[in-house]
Amino acid sequence: MPIIYQQISELRAALQPHRTQQSIALVPTMGNLHDGHLELVNIAKQHADIVVVSIFVNPTQFGEGEDFDSYPRTLDADVTKLATVAADYVFAPSIEEMYPVLPPATAVLAGTISAQLCGQSRPGHFDGVGIVVSKLFNIIQPDAAVFGQKDYQQLAIIKQLVRDLSYPLEIIAAPIVRAADGLALSSRNQYLTASERQVAPVLHQALQGLAQQLQDIKIAPQGSILPHIAALLAQTREHLTNAGFTVDYLEVKTAELDAMTEDFDKDEQDMVILVAAWLGRARLLDNQLVTIK
Ligand code: PAF
């Protein structure tokens, strides 16, 4: 079983002896772990000797009216699952331990990438992610940290944070883990009713279809890809709406994690399609990489 710490000082003391000879990886989570999180731990173990999993439902990244109170908290079950993948330590602090003053007086601003997509629908969300992740990096001082690619924008923002604040660690991006029917695994999937769960895989299917259509676009000489993209996005939005989703956003961006713009000017372009859509009470996120030649 992993050893659980709730106090920063105790965790630091436990990690100290490892630092001379062993590398440490962090897997930050909000708990309610599923196979996607366990895969993050497996990946972390490939990169470091010791794996610390943090479990903390971070109040500063939830907006008013969001699901902070109802977010599932399942620490005992989480620790049992983490034993199956041989995680070494769990850090599960209280809110008071993480935030002696709440809201904290010091801010971490997530920068321009955060102004779009999820950041537009959830103002302040990525600043909250930024401060909690900074604190976790300072507390644990890992050599590497693993983040899931399902939260593509979050991953881009964390990479920026590491660059801008000179954290001496490697960020490892972990591929999306999906259910057999294609739905990206997420703790929030449990908000879906049985009938919504049947519909949910349509989201991934729609992104796959859109990726194929983007690859098939034929641009006239001197033409622009932008009107083609706009038309395909409109079609896909309509398809999702007809299937029962309320689309928050569906956009195509350049895939470079340090930019995420709509500056599609190269002959060969790596793009990412990003979607957030409500199905009942669940806000589902997904994305799909696509290369246009
Ligand atoms: O992706 C998440 O679960 C959270 O945003 C994170 C990175 C653990 C910060 O609270």
Q: Do 54 and 170 have their domain in common? A: yes
Give CA angle at 255 (252, 257), nearest 5°.
125
Same domain for 205 and 139, yes or no, is: no
Q: Is 37 annotated as a binding residue?
A: yes
Res 210: pLDDT: 98
Cis, bond preceding 93 (omega within 30 deg of 0): no
For residue 97, pLDDT over 70 is answered with yes
Q: Is residue 181 assigned to a domain?
A: no
Closest CA to 184 of 6, 26, 36: 36
- Residues 106 and 249 both lie in one domain: no
Residue 225 reports pLDDT greater than 90: no
CA-wise closest residue to 28 among 182, 167, 201, 197: 167
Query: Considering the domain boundaries, does residue 259 fall inside one?
Result: yes
Report the pLDDT value the prediction gives residue 264, as an integer from 0 to 100. Answer: 80
Q: Give, in order, the Cα–Cα distances in Å from 166 to each of 51, 169, 170, 271, 276.
A: 22, 9, 11, 27, 31
Mutate to test the pocket of ligand 1, among 58, 60, 150 (most ligand atoms within 8 A of CB): 58
Let me know whether 146 and 193 are in one domain: no
Task: Please give the average per-residue pLDDT across 187-195, as a whole number.
Answer: 97
29: tokens are 């989570």
Residue 264 belongs to a domain: yes
3-state secondary structure (DSSP) of residue 4: strand
How many CB atoms are located within 10 Å of the residue 52 CB? 29
- Closest residue by Cα to atom 9, ligand 1, is 129
Written as six digits, the tokens of 75 are 């620490």
Q: Give the Å distance between the CA of 29 and the centre of ligand 1.
A: 5
- Please tell me the distance from the alpha carbon of residue 80 to that of residue 1, in angstroms, as a whole number: 7
Contact 136, 28 (CB under 8 A): yes
Residue nearest to atom 2 of ligand 1 (CA): 29
Query: Which tens digit of pLDDT belongs to each residue from 227-253?
Result: 999 999 999 999 999 999 999 999 999
Q: What is the DSSP secondary structure assignment for residue 270, as one 8-state letter?
A: E
**Mean of all residue pLDDT scores within the chain:** 95
| Other CB atoms within 10 Å distance of the CB of residue 47 | 17
Specify whether 159 is located in the same domain as 209: no
| Structural domains of the chain, count | 2
pLDDT tens across 125-165, in order?
999 999 999 999 999 999 999 999 999 999 999 999 999 99
Residue bearing tokens 């620490």: 75
Residues in contact with ligand 1 by the CB-under-6-Å rule are 28-30, 58, 61, 129, 132-133, 151, 154
Q: Read off the CATH number of the domain in which 238 is found.
A: 3.30.1300.10
* Catalytic residue positions, numbered: 37
Residue 268 pLDDT > 80, yes or no?
no
For the entire predicted model, the pTM comes to 0.96
Domain co-membership, 124 together with 200: no
Supply the pLDDT for residue 219.
83
Q: Annotated binding residue at 154?
A: yes
- End-of-domain residue from the set 125, 140, 174: 174
CA-nearest residue for atom 8, ligand 1, is: 29
Range(s) of the domain holding residue 262: 187-292
* Residue 95 resides in a domain: yes
Same domain, 160 and 220: no
Mutate to test the pocket of ligand 1, among 132, 147, 157, 185 (most ligand atoms within 8 A of CB): 132
Among residues 174, 197, 227, the one where a domain terminates is 174
Question: Are both 112 and 146 inside the same structural domain?
Answer: yes
Q: Which 3 state secondary structure label does DSSP give 157?
A: helix
104 and 224 together in one domain: no
Do the domain assignments include residue 180?
Answer: no
Verify that 131 and 200 share a domain, yes or no.
Answer: no
259 in the same domain as 119: no
From ligand 1's centre to the CA of 76, what distance in Å? 19
Specify whether 130 is located in the same domain as 229.
no
In a domain? residue 248: yes
Residue 182 maps to a domain: no
Q: 172: which strand partners?
A: 146
Which of 110, 143, 174 represents a domain boundary (last residue)?
174
pLDDT tens column, 39-48: 999 999 999 9
Tokens of 68: 């902070």
Lowest mean pLDDT among 75-79, 112-116, 198-202: 112-116
In a domain, 21, yes or no: yes
Confidence of residue 266 (pLDDT cuts 50, 70, 90): low
pLDDT in tens, 9-65: 999 999 999 999 999 999 999 999 999 999 999 999 999 999 999 999 999 999 999
**CATH number for the domain harbouring residue 97:** 3.40.50.620
